[in-house]
């Protein structure tokens, strides 16, 4: 399992902490930036490259952090094949993977505390897609929507 991380200034500290937690838990993690704190950076510039890397299969999963997690989710879902969601509780961190094959989790660095964030990250990283027929059927419908001509 290879996991990519990205954050703007609103998620910078939490992203650095997530890197440590995931490595401690034995995951292969790549930090896509920001690599230094820049209070004027913009989340699309950080999160879009991560989402494109997930889309291209360079990472199995991604975690993106901005201040609220909202902007990160909006930009991440613009990349084909990315299924991103803003997550605030552990049930959805796990079930979003098991049912919806969520491959990019977004967190709000200004919204959640470190202990909850750690639980969310580990629940997401340790979850696997169930592969059940009803969930595959729904994913196929999503793929069709993504591929339909405008």
- Residue from 8, 29, 51, 84 binding ligand RB5 (CB under 6 A): 8
Nearer to ligand RB5, 27 or 69 (CB): 69
Whole-angstrom CA distances from 131 to 97, 98, 99, 134, 138 are: 10, 8, 8, 8, 11
Nearer to ligand RB5, 34 or 122 (CB): 34
- Residue from 32, 71, 94, 105 binding ligand RB5 (CB under 6 A): 71
Alpha helices in 7-113 (DSSP H): 12-24, 43-55, 70-76, 90-100
* Span from 14-22, 64-72, 94-102, 123-131 in contact with ligand RB5 (CB under 6 A): 64-72
**Residues 22-51, interacting with ligand RB5 (CB under 6 A):** 43
10 near ligand RB5 (CB under 6 A): yes
Nearer to ligand RB5, 68 or 92 (CB): 68
Nearest to 53 by CA among 26, 31, 20: 31
Sheet holding 61-66, edge to edge: 28-31, 2-7, 61-66, 104-108, 84-86
Strands 61-66 and 28-31: unpaired
66 is catalytic: yes
Residues binding ligand RB5 (CB under 6 A): 8, 10, 43, 66-68, 70-71
Q: Known catalytic residues?
A: 66, 99
């Amino acid at each position: 399992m290879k996991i990519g991380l990205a954050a703007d200034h609103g998620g910078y500290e939490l992203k650095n902490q997530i890197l440590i937690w995931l490595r401690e838990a034995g995951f292969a993690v790549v930090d896509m930036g920001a690599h230094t704190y820049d209070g004027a950076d913009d989340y699309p510039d950080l999160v879009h490259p991560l989402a494109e890397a997930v889309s291209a299969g360079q990472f199995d999963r991604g975690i993106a952090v901005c201040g609220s997690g909202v902007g990160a989710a909006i930009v991440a879902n613009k990349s084909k094949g990315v299924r991103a969601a803003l997550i605030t509780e552990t049930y959805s961190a796990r079930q979003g993977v098991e049912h919806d094959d969520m491959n990019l989790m977004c967190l709000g660095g200004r919204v959640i505390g470190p202990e909850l964030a750690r639980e969310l990250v580990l629940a997401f990283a340790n979850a696997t897609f169930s592969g059940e027929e009803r969930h595959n059927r729904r994913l196929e419908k999503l793929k069709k929507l993504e591929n339909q001509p405008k």
